[in-house]
Amino acid sequence: MAEAERWFLAARRGYRGVSPFPLAVLEFQCGQAWLSEGDLASARIWLESAIRRLPAYVPAQGRIAEIDAAEGRAAEVIGHLCRLALQSDDPHYAAQLARILAAWEAGAEAECWRAHAAARYERLMVRHPEAYADHAAEFWLTVGGDPRRALALARQNLALRPTPRAHALVDRASCRVGGHR
């Protein structure tokens, strides 16, 4: 990962454009890479850099909330996710907030955010089923609480894109409903 980070830094130094978007995306990707390695401190540095460049960069803000959750910072997580869930059309943030609130035994508030995310996923699946089948399947498999529905969506996603991630999602959903692929 250190070698990859050197390439990220070289790319950032070599950028000559005026738009902050390419650099923010680059910093976000580096933060994602560190996050996948489990290095929360390095991930936070890169993600915060992306947010400084683009304060409204919602995916980077969402990843910061994930880091805060992993570090047990309840107030920061809830603050981040409430703001993102209210501002963004992406139901992922409402679902994430519902999951965290449920884990922290805030049942009524968790259910409110779960219902908000469910309604948004319903609307997105009507308009863009190919784009959201995997995301909706993840939602229904976890905080959405409907593994059968998750399995149907995971199978739909697998038919569209037979990737290792899609296969794993079908396998996880199948296990939850007690069946096989």
Once rounded to an integer, what is the mean pLDDT over residues 60-83?
90
Give the Cα separation of 138 and 172 in Å (integer).
10
How far apart (Å, rounded) are the C-alpha atoms in residues 176 and 48? 36
**Whole-angstrom distance, CA of residue 150 vs CA of residue 135:** 10
Terminal alpha carbon distance of the chain: 35
Question: According to the model, what pLDDT value does residue 118 have?
Answer: 97
Domains identified in the chain, total number: 1
Q: Rounded distance, CA 24 to CA 1, Å?
A: 19
- Asked whether residue 180 is domain-assigned, the answer is yes
**Phi, psi (degrees; rounded to nearest 5) at 89:** -80, -15
Q: Is residue 122 domain-resident?
A: no
In a domain, 32, yes or no: no
The answer to whether residue 168 is domain-embedded is yes
Per-residue pLDDT for 1 more than 80?
no
Q: pLDDT band at residue 179, thresholds of 50, 70 and 90?
A: low
Pair of tokens at residue 133: 């089948």
Instruction: Answer whether residue 166 is part of any domain.
Output: yes
Q: Tell me if 46 is assigned to some domain.
A: no
Does residue 100 form part of some domain?
no
Provide the angle, in degrees to the nearest 10, between the axes of the packed helices 40-53 and 58-70. Answer: 150
The listed range with the strongest mean pLDDT (81-85, 138-142, 174-178) is 138-142
Q: Contact at 8 Å (CB) between 26 and 11?
A: yes
181 — pLDDT class (breaks 50, 70, 90): low
The pLDDT, as a whole number, for residue 17 is: 86
Secondary structure letter of residue 1 according to DSSP:
-
41: confidence class by pLDDT, cuts 50, 70, 90? very high
What pLDDT, on the 0 to 100 scale, is given for residue 74? 82
Instruction: Convert the pLDDT of each residue in 130-165 to its tens digit.
Output: 999 999 999 999 999 999 999 999 999 999 999 999
- Answer yes or no: is 73 within a domain: no
Average pLDDT over residues 6-18: 84
Q: What is the domain extent for residue 156?
A: 128-181
